[in-house]
């Protein structure tokens, strides 16, 4: 696998095709080839992971701009073909992005992910060490993408390139209480919020059950962030088909 900037017309067309393969044929927010190309000219990233055969098996796209007088990067899309998932390509693409931004003096990278997506949370929080800075309800509005059928609530993650990644949470003490709906006592120094291990499977088989997960976790996580709790990590519980955000505050 080789990661490099998208460069040829075939590269850009393959990237658009990959977006539709991952987000669905009716995905209306696909980034067109022209924008993928132009963004690179003004500090953005449009890079692909290529198999030895030359096939595009993953890509990352982001834009560089200014936030409160500071140059920042917004990582908008990352996708890997179904056949190439769980091989570390997504993490390698993020590390490529980090190195490219660090080289030009950008110190913060932002992106979003669904708080109910346990795999994404594990990569972003446990592996990359991002900080969760905001919970946004319905960030992208209605979408015909099959991946967005469970709603578009999003965590906003911030990767501080000046700091080493935070260590992941290794274990949960049984005395750490759950934060549920309604919220628990805000005097607790540490809390847990449960999410399903595979929300995608729930969305496909029982959309109402997915909504039943969305609403209480939204309220719990918004409540905690508003009171100064930080998301320290995500733990898996395969036996119960659950994962748990661990939150704490000083």
Q: What tens digit of pLDDT does each residue of 20-48 get?
A: 999 999 888 999 999 999 999 999 999 99
Count of CB atoms situated within 10 Å of the CB of 62: 23
User: What's the pLDDT at 111?
Assistant: 97
Q: For 4-8, 143-147, 217-221, which range has the lowest pLDDT when averaged over its residues?
A: 143-147
User: What's the pLDDT at 182?
Assistant: 65
Dihedral sign for Cα atoms in the order 205, 207, 212, 214: positive
Per the listing, tokens 């900037």 go with 5
> Residues with Cβ < 8 Å from 77, sequence gap 6 or more?
19, 31, 59, 60, 61, 62
User: What's the pLDDT at 168?
Assistant: 67
Query: Which 8-state DSSP code applies to residue 244?
Result: E
Q: What angle do CA 197, 178, 244 make, to 5 degrees?
A: 25
Tokens of 15: 């990237």
pTM value?
0.90
Q: What tens digit of pLDDT does each residue of 104-158 get?
A: 999 999 999 999 999 999 999 999 999 999 999 999 876 555 555 568 899 999 9
Average pLDDT, the chain: 90
Q: Considering only residues 13 and 211, tell me which one the structure prediction assigns the higher pLDDT.
A: 13
User: What's the pLDDT at 175?
Assistant: 62
User: What's the pLDDT at 250?
Assistant: 84
CA neighbor of 192 nearest in space, from 216, 219, 227, 221: 221
User: What's the pLDDT at 171?
Assistant: 59
């Amino acid at each position: 696998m080789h990661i490099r900037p998208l460069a040829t017309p075939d590269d850009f067309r393959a990237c658009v095709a990959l977006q539709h393969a991952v987000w669905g044929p009716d995905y209306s927010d696909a980034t067109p080839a022209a924008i993928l190309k132009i963004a690179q000219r003004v500090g953005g990233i449009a890079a692909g992971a290529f198999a030895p055969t030359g096939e595009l098996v993953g890509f990352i796209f982001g834009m560089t701009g200014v936030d409160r007088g500071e140059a920042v990067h917004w990582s908008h899309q990352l996708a890997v073909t179904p056949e190439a998932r769980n091989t570390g390509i997504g993490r390698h693409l993020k590390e490529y992005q980090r190195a490219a931004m660090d080289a030009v003096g950008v110190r913060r990278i932002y992106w979003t992910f669904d708080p109910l997506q346990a795999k994404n949370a594990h990569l972003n929080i446990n592996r990359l060490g991002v900080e969760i800075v905001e919970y946004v309800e319905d960030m992208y509005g209605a979408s015909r993408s099959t991946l967005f059928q469970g709603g578009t609530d999003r965590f906003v993650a911030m990767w501080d390139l000046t700091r080493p990644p935070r260590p992941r949470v290794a274990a949960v003490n049984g005395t750490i209480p759950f934060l549920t709906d309604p919220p628990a006592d805000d005097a607790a120094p540490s809390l847990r919020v449960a999410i399903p291990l595979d929300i995608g499977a729930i969305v496909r088989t029982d959309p109402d059950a997915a909504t039943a997960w969305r609403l209480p976790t939204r309220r719990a996580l918004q409540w905690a962030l508003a009171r100064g709790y930080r998301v320290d990590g995500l733990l898996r519980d395969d036996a119960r088909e659950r994962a748990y955000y661990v939150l704490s505050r000083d």
